[in-house]
Structure 1
């Protein structure tokens, strides 16, 4: 257990990353707090972990998300301060949206700046996240009435790098329209130096075990029910429950016709009451997991702002609410535009298959490399 993983907010993407690293990397031990009362986790988690992480001579690396006040932890536990300390930013509190600037609690952003100062490596999940944090430090620190520290950006920046959030894509072929399956395989093909070339088959085994929960992950971070519930119900009826439907159809066939029909196939139109693609309503989903939604065949429609231009091609971005409304109206009138569309951006670069080498290199005790 040379790698010590600490997650003060063990839920959503924070939990997903911690679990992935623990499962895929050797010699990991994970300590967590439940994903409740985020503000209190940011304020007090360091003290809790200082008392509950056992002292061990085997630890070599400490990996934590930026919810944890790393400065407090290493002050309370000098033994952990000697480790290679990696801080991972899922978001940053210097630009995290608030209704009014006056409502931004100075302490949370200040804690993240201090944590960066004591960390050995600071990792962000996007270039946007990194640059928005670094370029906001100066303005943020001007809130201090006097005796302000200076040049913090120049101290922190050399420690910083980007490692996109790694996704272990499951096999969702049974959810997909036929015309999108080949495109899905193509999107997952990785080529180039040091990359893994996936087989012709879609991901199996480790990835498959999560496939049933993929759409549930989309909803997990939202408190507001959305059309994804309807979409999930359709998927459950048409795909995930095929064995049950087949048995039911066979039973019905036997009772009505007295014959064994082992080759029963299922026409999606029958399951949808005979409604074709053009007549079916378009489901508009707020997935909270874009990189996964596109992989599952969704058409992304995102603001030309924040991290979205870094991830999605320009044709999937809108600049104004009017543009968004116009495009949605067009899609609703002509849903086949969306249903038949093949995504033109990259997905494979966000997969664990593409990123595992970067994370393995990061979580070593060797001198840091340019990743």
Structure 2
């Protein structure tokens, strides 16, 4: 007879952001879960040493049947130190992968992080990626990554790992939002209920009369990403400065979290773009959603993106997306929302700035329900069942 107690052990060395949201969702919605976590601080040290900590802090429990962890954890070390956990069904979830995570110079890439992820895959029973791009980029990079080893290199590791791999999109808890009722030919906004389109996962703005004679409100552009170099703020701000030099009018909201080292471009961009700025910096959740509801266009200039919650949330709130034709974006966004070059991005934004109603009346062709917790819940429940993969 199975002992009473938790059946699923959730282990998260970096309990913050999207990692925390996923653990919380699973703990709230999957029966018989318990979680062991560490605060989201000092990521490199979490990746290096969390396994030893958890080997001492995870209580022994005969009822455990499934172990779920993000790929920050060196799962290989944990199960070696805790043989009682090695017998469990081991599920490894990749929010990102360190084989292609961008660094400024390849010499700066710490081999150990990617190596740990490969080892963790080898001891896992199921390896889950949050996008096809994440999975393919990881598997296709293993061979060249292992060539960094001076000699006696392992071979065909991708062939051992691939059969274990599945793609399960990150489950977003989209807010229940209503767009402001706005007239594209007027600077005024009237708050009111929004009737969503009959197409699932799309948002459409109600359009008022256009013959009011009032001046058109400038296009509101939002950039809702972490203030770090991998999100390529340099491209975003240089594009907006070009628009300013062309005397193209727009409003700007730069949101997202800041960390210890903020790229210098942010202070210089704030100085140059100040007349256009509506919001600048991290906001409360409620205020953040209000800004997304008021914005017209959401832009990504990322050099790194394995999924992209911020872009999908903005689309859910009704923003017109512009994304690089690279990384995960072609997997999620139709071609009309993708740009290939900085020049294309500038041209697209310039056109929308001059005709804001095109963004304001557009029905975005992205079905956000595909990426919702409601749609993905059953797959996660199945993933954390006792059944062997």
**Fold shared, TM-score > 0.5 on shorter chain:** yes
Counterparts of 1:89 and 1:238, CA distance in 2: 27
Q: How does 1:2-13 map to 2 (within 5 A)?
A: 2-13=7-18
Counterparts of 1:180 and 1:33, CA distance in 2: 42
Partner residue of 1:133 out of 129, 138, 141: 138
1:312 is aligned to 333
2:311 equivalent to 1:290: yes
1:68 is aligned to 73
Partner residue of 1:299 out of 290, 297, 320: 320
Instruction: Give ranges in structure 1 of 5+ residues lacking alignment.
Output: 190-214, 241-276
What TM-score, normalized to structure 2?
0.71
1:81-104 CA distance string (max 9 Å, x none): 111000000000000011111111
Instruction: Give ranges in structure 2 of 5+ residues lacking alignment.
Output: 1-5, 183-190, 203-223, 227-253, 271-276, 301-307
Counterparts of 1:237 and 1:126, CA distance in 2: 25
Distance 1:238 1:319, change over 3 A: closer
2:349 equivalent to 1:328: yes
Partner residue of 2:168 out of 143, 163, 167: 163
Counterparts of 1:34 and 1:309, CA distance in 2: 33
1:140-171 CA distance string (max 9 Å, x none): 00110100111101000000000000112221
Counterparts of 2:288 and 2:365, CA distance in 1: 29
Counterparts of 1:238 and 1:66, CA distance in 2: 30
Counterparts of 1:283 and 1:301, CA distance in 2: 7
Larger Rg: 1
Task: Quote the offset at 1:29 in angstroms.
Answer: 0.5
Contact 1:176 1:296 in 2 (8 A): no
2:375 is aligned to 354
Question: 1:140 aligns to what SS in structure 2?
Answer: helix
Q: How does 1:1-371 map to 2 (within 5 A)?
A: 1-173=6-178, 181-183=194-196, 186-188=199-201, 219=255, 221-223=257-259, 229=279, 289-368=310-389
Contact 2:36 2:58 in 1 (8 A): yes
Task: Quote the offset at 1:346 in angstroms.
Answer: 1.8
Contact 2:129 2:165 in 1 (8 A): yes
Task: Quote the offset at 1:340 in angstroms.
Answer: 1.7
Counterparts of 2:40 and 2:350, CA distance in 1: 37
Task: Quote the offset at 1:229 in angstroms.
Answer: 3.4
What TM-score, normalized to structure 1?
0.74
Counterparts of 1:362 and 1:238, CA distance in 2: 31
Contact 1:63 1:86 in 2 (8 A): yes
Q: Which moved more, 1:345-354 or 1:85-94?
A: 345-354
CA RMSD of aligned residues (A): 3.2
Question: 1:30 aligns to what SS in structure 2?
Answer: strand
Distance 1:216 1:27, change over 3 A: farther
Distance 1:323 1:64, change over 3 A: same
Higher strand share: 2
Question: 1:173 aligns to what SS in structure 2?
Answer: coil
Contact 2:299 2:322 in 1 (8 A): no
